[in-house]
């Protein structure tokens, strides 16, 4: 073999070795190159089956992805997936504030990326619907408290301006577990109540079924009642206009019931056409009206001396 041929062969071998070394260096540098942090980290929770998926944009050089879930600021769980997404439904079962971060992992430890910025995700579990019960005798709406609820709203209709009228948490009382709304503060009228439980980390509950309530107002009893058997004139004061008089005749078991309307505030009623004999006692009551949500007054008795 001539020296010239030998030189050519050696040159070719050296060139091949050099090229191989260059390729190897580039390959090693590539597999050890730190991957970029994942982008477009999303917590996808609008899926029809109720699943929650963590997802980032795919990196062709990543062999797997690591997702870290934090709850209320503390590390909660680490999930690893060969894909750029993973189902994480079971890790979001409790209400609260969650944060998620992710990083990509390549072929070597040197190629692991930094974590991407955290993404917040709030889980709001729906509150149970309270049960309600009317206590008509004490003008209360009783209800059981619901776990997780921080306040309760009692909706009872619309205001004159068309806005929803409600009693807020400043109007309920009682012990935890069994509370009540004080209905005595409402103006007289007819109401349809629906109660809702609310909580900061929870979705508000469904409204309860409607429950009807009529708030009445007892009429004040008439005052300054006087009567004369001679003139048969009954006088008294009352701001109301509808009355019932029960007359007891002297020396008789017979009685006479009179219902009469009078719009004056100082009343002077001539009972001549109603009474035939002298009376020993009169029972006077202001009669309420369902239309005006009033109830009868206490009875006032006039007794013949």
Q: Is the pLDDT of residue 305 over 90?
A: no
> Domains in the chain, start-ordered, CATH in brackets?
42-123 (2.60.40.10), 126-215 (2.60.40.10), 218-303 (2.60.40.10)
Residues 274-299: what's their mean pLDDT?
93
Q: What percent of the chain has pLDDT over 70?
A: 84
**Interatomic CA distance for residues 264 and 241, integer angstroms:** 7
Residue 208 to residue 194: CA distance in whole angstroms: 5
Closest CA to 152 of 213, 199, 209: 199
Confidence of residue 22 (pLDDT cuts 50, 70, 90): very low
Over residues 157-175, mean pLDDT: 64
- Joined together, the tokens standing for residue 114 give 């930094």
Chain segment 45-61, per-residue pLDDT in tens = 888 888 999 999 999 99
- Mean pLDDT of the region 65-80: 92
pLDDT value of residue 32: 52
- Is residue 28 very low, low, confident or very high in pLDDT (cuts 50, 70, 90)? very low
Cβ 165 vs Cβ 151: under 8 Å: no
Task: List Cβ neighbours of 85 (8 Å cut-off, separation of 6 or more).
Answer: 53, 54, 55, 56
């Amino acid at each position: 073999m001539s020296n010239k041929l030998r030189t050519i062969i050696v040159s070719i071998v050296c060139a091949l070795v050099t090229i191989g070394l260059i390729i190897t260096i580039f390959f090693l540098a590539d597999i050890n190159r730190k991957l970029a942090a994942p982008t477009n980290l999303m917590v996808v929770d609008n899926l029809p089956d109720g699943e929650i998926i963590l997802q980032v944009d795919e990196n062709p050089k990543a062999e797997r992805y690591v997702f870290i879930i934090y709850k209320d600021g503390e590390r909660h769980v680490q999930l690893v997936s060969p894909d750029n997404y993973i189902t994480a439904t079971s890790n979001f079962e409790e209400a609260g504030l969650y944060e998620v971060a992710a990083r990509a992992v390549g072929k070597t430890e040197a190629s692991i990326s930094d974590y991407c910025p955290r993404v917040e995700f709030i889980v709001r579990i729906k509150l149970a619907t309270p049960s309600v019960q009317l206590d008509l005798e004490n003008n209360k709406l009783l209800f059981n408290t619901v776990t997780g609820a921080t306040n309760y709203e009692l909706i009872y209709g619309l205001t004159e301006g068309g806005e929803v009228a409600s009693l807020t948490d400043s109007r309920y009382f009682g012990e935890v577990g069994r509370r009540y709304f004080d209905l005595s503060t409402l103006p007289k009228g007819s109401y349809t109540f629906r109660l809702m439980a609310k909580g900061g980390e929870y979705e508000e509950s469904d409204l309860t079924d409607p429950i009807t309530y009529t708030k009445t107002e007892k009429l004040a009893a008439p005052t300054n009642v006087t009567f004369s058997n001679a003139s048969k004139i009954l006088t008294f004061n009352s701001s109301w206009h509808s009355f019932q008089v029960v007359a007891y005749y002297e020396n008789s078991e017979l009685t006479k019931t009179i219902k009469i309307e009078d719009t004056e505030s100082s009343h002077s009623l001539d009972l001549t056409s109603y009474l035939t004999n002298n009376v020993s006692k009169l029972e006077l009551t202001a009669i309420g009206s369902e239309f005006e949500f009033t109830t009868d007054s206490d009875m006032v008795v006039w007794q013949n001396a």
